[in-house]
């Protein structure tokens, strides 16, 4: 199917829907210059520079047992504070403003959806913009964490406790409230647009199974196990496809 024909079908699908939900992963942010840390380049860099796999270094046990190494990797490899929203983020914000997009459900932790103007964003894996003291619960923004890129541990200004990012690490469970809200929105959706995710990370990927509508669009350059369930497959850049399909 020619590229523009797929985009046209996506446009028609969006026009025919009133309760759209978008479910996105790392591929949404790569077009803003944020690499997929689980991709080949990220894996290679992690093992050669830091001596561990990305999954190991952003695990709960590594955080507890090797906090210095954890923050060295996290602050230097997982935060891209200069990144700006791309065409996909802006198109989704547009769609929400038009009253058709009910929620953005994201596996990303970069906050770019909110920066683009989206208001109802469910962050399954948390956000780099939220940080808190493990001892007293004091809250800190991203700027505070970035002050510690050179190697000092981020310690609370009130009590001296360790400040950790409000992100879900490997070996940790997702926030139950966020998970149930995501499930509710997907169940009620008449159209589900999935973009930039391999749908391989659980339990987040399992949310797709709650969709009961009749318009499922999958925008992804690589093959996923859910392709056979999609009503529309788009193998193009997610930013270009959404920007074209969502009215200005």
Question: What amino acid positions are annotated as catalytic residues?
Answer: 125
Cβ contacts of residue 153 below 8 Å, gap of 6+?
A: 67, 68, 71, 162
As given in the structure block, the two tokens for residue 119 are: 């208001």
Quickly tell me which residue has 């490899």 as its tokens. 77
Q: Whose CA is closest to 129, among 117, 115, 113, 142?
A: 142
Report the DSSP beta bridge partners of residue 219: 195, 234
Name, in order, each residue with C-beta under 8 angstroms of 217's C-beta and a sequence gap of 6 or more: 10, 13, 191, 192, 193, 194, 230, 231, 232, 233, 234
Tokens 């909110």, residue?
A: 114
What own/partner pairs with CB < 8 Å and gap ≥ 24 does 118-122 have? Answer: 118/89, 118/92, 118/93, 120/96, 122/178, 122/181, 122/182, 122/185
Q: CA–CA separation, 192 vs 21, rounded Å?
A: 5
């Amino acid at each position: 199917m020619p590229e523009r024909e797929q985009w046209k079908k996506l446009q028609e699908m969006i026009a025919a829907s009133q309760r759209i939900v978008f479910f996105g992963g790392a591929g949404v942010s790569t077009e803003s210059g944020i690499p997929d840390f689980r991709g080949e380049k990220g894996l290679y860099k992690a093992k050669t520079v830091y001596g561990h796999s990305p999954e190991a270094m952003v695990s709960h046990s590594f955080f507890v047992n090797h906090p210095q190494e954890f923050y060295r990797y996290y602050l230097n490899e997982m935060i891209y504070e200069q990144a700006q929203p791309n065409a996909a983020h802006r198109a989704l914000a547009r769609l929400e403003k038009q009253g058709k997009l009910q929620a953005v459900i994201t596996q990303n932790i970069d906050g770019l959806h909110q920066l683009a103007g989206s208001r109802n964003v469910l962050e399954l894996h948390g956000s780099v913009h939220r940080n808190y003291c493990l001892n007293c619960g004091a809250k800190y923004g991203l700027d505070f964490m970035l002050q510690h890129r050179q190697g000092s541990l981020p310690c609370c200004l009130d009590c001296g406790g360790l400040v950790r990012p409000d992100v879900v690490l490997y070996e940790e469970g997702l926030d139950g409230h966020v998970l149930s809200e995501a499930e509710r929105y997907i169940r009620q959706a008449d159209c589900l647009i999935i973009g930039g995710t391999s749908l391989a990370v659980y339990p987040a990927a399992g949310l797709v199974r709650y969709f009961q509508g009749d318009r499922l669009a999958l925008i992804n350059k690589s093959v996923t196990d859910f392709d056979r369930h999609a009503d529309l497959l788009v193998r193009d850049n997610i930013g270009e496809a959404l920007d074209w399909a969502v009215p200005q």
